[in-house]
Amino acid sequence: MTSTPDRNRVRFPGISSRAYEHPADRSALVAMRSLSGFDSVLKRMAGLFSERRLRLMFLASAVRTSETQFRGLHDMGRDAAYILDLHRIPELYVQQDPKAYAMAIGFDEPFIVVSSGMLDLYDEEELRFIVGHETGHILSGHAVYGTMLAILTRLATRVAWIPLGYIGLRIIVTALEEWQRKAELSSDRAGLLAGQDPDAALRALMKMAGGSRLHEMNTEAFMDQAREYDTAGDVRDGLLKVLNLIGTTHPFAVSRFAELDRWRRGGEYDRILAGDYPRRADDAQAKISEEVKNAAKSYRESWAQSQDPFVGLVRDVAEGVVSAGERIFTRMTGRGGSGS
């Protein structure tokens, strides 16, 4: 790959997706990757949703970016791949739809789809964040496990008439939804690394909530909303927030805004920019037990920082669940082994 970004952005040779992944996302991915053949099985299961078929569909009904079509967006895709050191530049399609969305699709040769509504909503630097976000999904391999969620969700609806079967699947689906919400936080970080414009990244997340009228919005006021959402009113509001997340695969806009700002201010972003990050070449040595501990630590820190009365009420119960999970994984991985 010989092309370079159109301004002096830092490139991350050999960067591992572990550099930006949320601990809860990273622990799940390290565990899944350690299961020999797991990805291959999932890819065969996803045969019903053929990658080739989907690519042909977008080739026929959308516009593929190139040097002569949506060149600016095409360059953003090239730049994101260059900065995050992907081995190939994903194809990027523009689909006519007034709704603003973007997605990464596929396993072997994943590609990115951006709606025309997304182009209308965001300026150039905000779009870089969006394209980088989707590129992060590709580097992490989120599509494989997102497909598993889709398959199990459909299966859960088919066995809804079997009480125990449905309950068991619903528990798994709920856990996968929680993982996918954390995967979105991971890819927000990848988007920031690709665009390297924190203000643009926060504007993009704010626009997800309020639309294009940026002059009518204020980032500090939006952060105040995030704080108010976190503190809630009482225990009932905290419970309602949990119920509102059921069936969702993306965190709410204020949560994503606050989480990305917290990650950036926490120093990790600057360390990565300085070249201090895990390399892909070392991914095989990542220890499941260590990542599970990191995930548990992340949840505990989140609960400690939260002012939500409901979180305070259930903190002890949740702590017990997390501790039990740590013990189970420690046994499964031979007390600190790699789990491979």
Say yes or no to pLDDT of 125 above 70: yes
CB–CB of 92/128 below 8 Å? no
Q: What is the mean pLDDT of residues 27-49?
A: 57
**Rounded to an integer, what distance in angstroms lies between the CA atom of residue 262 and that of residue 22?**
12
Least confident stretch, 15-19, 96-100, 295-299: 295-299
- The answer as to whether 318 is a domain residue is no
46 DSSP assignment: G
In a domain, 67, yes or no: yes
Q: Are 291 and 21 in contact (CB under 8 A)?
A: no
Q: Which domain holds residue 141?
A: 17-286
This prediction's pTM: 0.79
CB within 8 A of 65, min separation 6: which ones? 71, 73, 74, 77, 91, 92, 93, 94
Judge whether 311 lies within some domain.
Answer: no
Query: Is position 265 within any domain?
Result: yes
For the cut 90, the answer to whether the pLDDT of residue 296 exceeds it is: no
Question: Is residue 257 situated within a structural domain?
Answer: yes
Q: Is residue 313 a part of any domain in this protein?
A: no
- Bridge pairing between strands 111-115 and 102-105: antiparallel
Number of domain units in the chain:
1
Asked if residue 1 is part of any domain, the answer here is: no
Name the band, by pLDDT with cuts 50, 70 and 90, for residue 68.
very high
For residue 108, being part of any structural domain is answered with yes
